[in-house]
Structure formats: C-alpha cells, structure tokens
Amino acid sequence: MAEDRARPGELDQTKYDADDSVKIICLGDSAVGKSKLMERFLMDGFRPQQLSTYALTLYKHMATVDGKTVLVDFWDTAGQERFQSMHASYYHKAHACIMVFDVQRKVTYKNLHTWYTELREFRPEIPCIVVANKIDADIKVTQKSFNFARKFSLPLYFVSAADGTNVVKLFNDAIRLAVSYKQNSQDFMDEVLQELENFDLEQKAAGDPAPDREQRGAVEGPAPS
Amino acid sequence: MTCTAKKCGIRFRPPAIILIYENEMKGKNRQRIMPVRNFSKFSDCNRAAEQLKNNPRHKSYLEQVSLRQLERLFSFLRGYLSGQSLAETMEQIRRETTIDPEEDLNKLDDKELAKRKSIMDELFEKNQKKKDDPNFVYDIEVEFPQDEQLQSCGWDTESADEF
Ligand SMILES: Nc1nc2c(ncn2[C@@H]2O[C@H](COP(=O)(O)OP(=O)(O)O)[C@@H](O)[C@H]2O)c(=O)[nH]1
Ligand SMILES: [Mg+2]
C-alpha cells in the first residue's frame, strides 16, 4: 500500500489533492466496454494518455459543476483487468468509481463481486456506480432486476456505448458524485490512516511484517462529520 | 459506376467469388465471376478477403460487400478444400464469429481477446449511432426504473446469500 507513494515522479497523484481536481476510476472485466464508454462520453475531445508501464490509460476532461471548473482524470485499465485485480496506485486517491459489466455475459456480472471487494479494501467510502453496458444488444434486460446493486445500495445505470443511451448522464453523475465526495472529504481520514500506517511501520522493528490490509481496516473508525 | 450488389456467393470448382449486381440499367441483374487464385486449405481467409476487396479490377463492384461476408465465403472454400462437410464448416464459422457467453475473456491473451472484440464490433457497429449521423444526439437519457416488481435477471439465484 505504501509503494505507490514511493514513486512520485512517474505518476504524480498529489494533484488530486487540489480542490479543482478529481480522479475517477473504471473497473470491470475485459471487453465489457469500459474504453468504448469513455470514448462515447468524450467523443472527439478525448486525449488518452497511455501509460503502458502501468497498463493504464488516462483520459483528461474538463467539466463544470455548479459553475466551477473541475479537472477530471478518468483512469481506465489497459489489460491489467485480466488479473481481476489492480495495483494499489490505481485506487489511490480515487474519488469515484464506475464499475461495468456486460449484460450479455454473466461472468462479468458475477465478477463484480471481486472488483467491489477490492475497491472497498482500498477505498471504503467512495461513491460507486454499477453500469450494465450493451443494452442495445438486448433491451429486455432493462426490465430485469440485478441484485448486486441492490444488495450494496449502489446506483445501477443501464447504458449502451454503441447507441449512447445514458452514457453522458452516467459520466456527468459520476463527476458530480466525485466532486461532492471530495467536498465532504473522507480524504482527511485516509491521510490520517496513512500517518497511522507510517507510525506503525516506524514502531515496528526491522524484519517484522508490514501491516496488512486487515490491520488498516481495523484502525478505521467512523468518518468525521 | 453505380453498382448495387444483390447477392454474393462462392463457387468451389473452379473456385470463384460470384457477385449478382444491378448496374445503371435498373431491373437487369448481372453476374460477375471473380476467380480465386492461389488459395489453399492453409490460406488466411481474412487476407484473401482483403486482397479481393482491394483488387483494382473488382474493387468498385465489391464496395457494398463487407469484408466479413467475403471472409466468410473464403471460410466455406477453405472448409471444402480441407474435406469438411458443409455442416462442419458452418459450425466452425459459427464458433469463430460468435461470442461464447460463458467464456471468461479475462483468461485470454491479447491476440485472442482482440479476436473476440472484433466479433463484438460487428454488433457494436451495427447499433452504433455515429456523430455524423444526421439524427445523432449526444446526451440520450432513458429511465429504466428498478422497482420491486421486476423479474430477476436470473444471474442472482444460485445461492441464497449470493447476489
Ligand atoms: N453491442 C455493443 N457492443 C459494445 C458496447 N460497448 C462495447 N462493445 C463491444 O465490446 C468490445 C469491447 O469493448 P472495450 O471498450 O474494448 O472493452 P474494455 O476491455 O472493457 O475496455 C468492443 O470491441 C465493442 O465491440 C455496446 O454498448 N454495445
Ligand atoms: Mg479497455
């Protein structure tokens, strides 16, 4: 968990601390349509930045929320999803998550569980939207209930990157959620946790195992109001 | 030249792609026979389709025939040359051109994944509303209420505490 902070030069994430900047991550299995959704939202305006060493694509976007300009970085995976796990730095400082499955493939729905579990290990509080993509292929799915979203009280969006249904709404809502999450920030809590981790590390004698995620979870208290 | 493609098929012996089309003189069907040369059971159907489509002599006639259809026709020829029955070839084509919904695509390497994506692209492109379409709308919002009466998607029911 600490290693992503040890490489500031390569992938500087301190900018996400600035008031006008948010980070939104995409999760989901291979070929569910994450990249197509990004492209549909950004249209010609998209300027993807490939970071191949991280198997990562960054899309930069400028949005206006309540009259204020917000710089949005969308993080999209570029192959790493095949391991059904992302590097810690992918989650680091994220303010919202867009989690996609393919309505034509059950495995991608089932795997939401794995994605969600990992997301919550790193970012217990950030808003997360569940996205049922490719509804153009089978519009009847929009008449069905999907318990995953209900079980975790997550909003569910039916979208199509192909015909565009609800894509713009999805991304604009995600940006709003990210901004409002940031304003009522849990980031403060995360910083405190990091301090605690460092403290913990310093306390331990060399050779002791580093604190694992369980321990991190254990020091988590209720969020400050 | 204005040429409206009507039908496109393949002849096995001697191998040729055959196009039925209509030219300026509406109502009169014509036939164009495009011989297939240097094609064996080891040939690459995609390459062969591309070559034919770009062949300077046939190009203008094949504008309306998709690369995928040509590729499929070459697959029939290849099946024939390898001694497969028509049914076997059709099954093979079906496998190569459809997505197995049970397959875990996370397990594939880049090349295989790209193949699956290109199969998916067929429907994607068919349903795609492009920016230059006259009736293109950037922000399309449709509400699909998730109320209690809905029927389950059928993917939740395997065990009681699973979603
Ligand atoms: N029919 C349909 N196909 C889609 C849609 N979105 C993506 N696809 C197809 O799914 C394939 C994988 O999409 P991609 O964005 O590369 O998935 P990613 O691996 O999650 O980034 C694409 O090649 C498209 O053909 C959609 O909304 N409708
Ligand atoms: Mg992608």
Ligand nearest to the CA of A57: 2
Predicted pLDDT at A185: 72
Residue B148 lies in a domain: no
Residue B147 lies in a domain: no
Q: Is the distance from CB of A129 to CB of A2 less than 8 angstroms?
A: no
Q: How far apart are CA B99 and CA B121, in angstroms?
A: 11
Residue B120 contacts A where some CB pair is shorter than 8 Å: yes
Strands B4-11 and B16-22: antiparallel
Strands A21-27 and A68-77: parallel
Predicted pLDDT at A202: 59
Nearest CA to A170 out of A79, A98, A68, A77 is that of A98
Q: How many domains does chain B have?
A: 1
pLDDT > 70: percent of chain A: 78
Residue B47 lies in a domain: yes
Closest CB from B107, B113, B131 relative to A43: B131
Å from CA of A29 to ligand 2 middle: 9
Query: Would the CB atoms of B131 and A44 count as touching at under 8 Å?
Result: yes
Q: How far apart are CA A63 and CA A21, in angstroms?
A: 10
Q: What's the mean pLDDT when you consider all of chain A?
A: 83
Structure tokens at B107: 């397990």
Å from CA of A160 to ligand 1 middle: 9
CA distance B107 to chain A (A): 6
Residue B138 lies in a domain: no
Interaxial angle between packed helices B86-97 and B110-127, expressed in degrees from 0 to 180 and rounded to the nearest 10: 90
pLDDT > 90: percent of chain A: 62
Pocket of ligand 1 contains residue A30 by CB under 6 Å: yes
Strands B16-22 and A48-51: unpaired
Distances (CA, A) of A75 to A61, A152, B13: 11, 23, 54
CA distance B163 to chain A (A): 5
Average pLDDT over residues A139-143: 95
Nearest CA to A90 out of A75, A101, A112, A74 is that of A75
Q: Is the distance from CB of A69 to CB of A21 less than 8 angstroms?
A: no
Pocket of ligand 1 contains residue A161 by CB under 6 Å: yes
Angle subtended at Cα A171 by Cα A169 and Cα A175, rounded to the nearest 5 degrees = 115
Pocket of ligand 1 contains residue A133 by CB under 6 Å: yes
Structure tokens at A209: 């195992």
Provide the domain limits for residue B79: 4-97
Tell me which fold the domain A17-185+214-220 belongs to.
Rossmann fold (3.40.50)
Residue B51 lies in a domain: yes
Does residue A74 register a pLDDT over 90? yes
Amino acid letter, residue B27: G
Does residue A86 register a pLDDT over 50? yes
Does pTM surpass 0.90?
Answer: no
- Pocket test residue of A36, A76, A138, A170 for ligand 1, highest count of atoms within 8 A of CB: A36
Local structure of B139: helix, strand or coil: coil
Query: Would the CB atoms of A106 and B105 count as touching at under 8 Å?
Result: no
> B132-154: per-residue pLDDT in tens?
999 999 999 999 987 777 888 99
Does residue A218 register a pLDDT over 50? no
Domain boundaries, chain A: 17-185+214-220
> B53-95: per-residue pLDDT in tens?
999 999 999 999 999 899 999 999 999 999 999 999 999 998 8
